[in-house]
Amino acid sequence: MSRKIVAGNWKMNLDVLQARALYNELNGKDTDQDVRVILCPPAVYLSEFSINIKEIHLAAQNVSDQSNGAYTGEISAEMLNKMGVDYCLVGHSERRLYNGETNDLLYNKIKQLIKNNVHPIYCCGESLEERESGKERIVIQQQLKEGLFSLSADDLLKCVIAYEPIWAIGTGKTATSGQAQEMHAFIRQLVEDNYNTRIAQTISILYGGSCKPDNVNELFSKPDVDGGLIGGASLDANSFKAIIDSF
Ligand code: PGA
């Protein structure tokens, strides 16, 4: 059985006082043990948040593909692990777009994370143009093949996959639950084809893209949707809590 997960990606938002206030509200929340709650704050807040952490888990939004050394501005997977960070986003579409991150680079980041016991949350998703020309499956297949599927079966099981259609991120346009289910089932089938049924049924596949309290019930009710990667709606304690509680 795959684990249910709700992850909040704060992106480059919230000053320290706002971030602390939001974190304190969520950290005290009594959450159903069956749902794993993950927060991805900006990296500068990770060390402070890791000190008093309760039920929730911390994720970084990015990591270096190198282990250590003269890489100004970078953060290593080992640093994240020693700081108590359990997860890290890899391949978010904003990083693919603004930082030119390729599947090959992302695969190296994933290897660094796994070596250091941090779980990668590997993001994949197609653009509007790709969807309108019917290429969404080809795009996802390539992102998974090049970024993820060279891992061993044991290592793949340490990863989470997030399907985030780019046209739904921050646009207010969510994929319908039918579209999400179709792509999630496709991704699970790819995992089965490249690994086996047990791994396909165990890996968590999250949906991301304009998730809100009023649409997650429908999305999370789909059999292959194991949770959500939440951007905008994770910046408000009440809406993020409502999304967690919708499981
Ligand atoms: P959004 O972002 O919920 O604001 O659309 C999701 C994401 O980018 O992970």
Give residue 187's Cα distance to chain centre.
15
pLDDT digits (tens, 9 = 90+) for 221-239: 999 999 999 999 999 999 9
Q: Give the residue-averaged pLDDT of 42-59.
A: 95
The pLDDT value given to residue 89: 98
Q: Give the residue-averaged pLDDT of 115-126.
A: 98
The separation between the first and the last C-alpha atoms of the chain, rounded to the nearest angstrom, is 15
Mutate to test the pocket of ligand 1, among 62, 211, 212, 236 (most ligand atoms within 8 A of CB): 211
For the chain, give the mean pLDDT.
Answer: 96
**Residue count of the chain:** 247
Model confidence at 29, pLDDT cuts 50, 70, 90, reads: confident
Radius of gyration of the chain, Cα coordinates, nearest whole angstrom: 17
Catalytic annotation, pick one of 126, 130, 164, 184? 164
Using a cut of 0.85, tell me whether the model's pTM lies above it.
yes
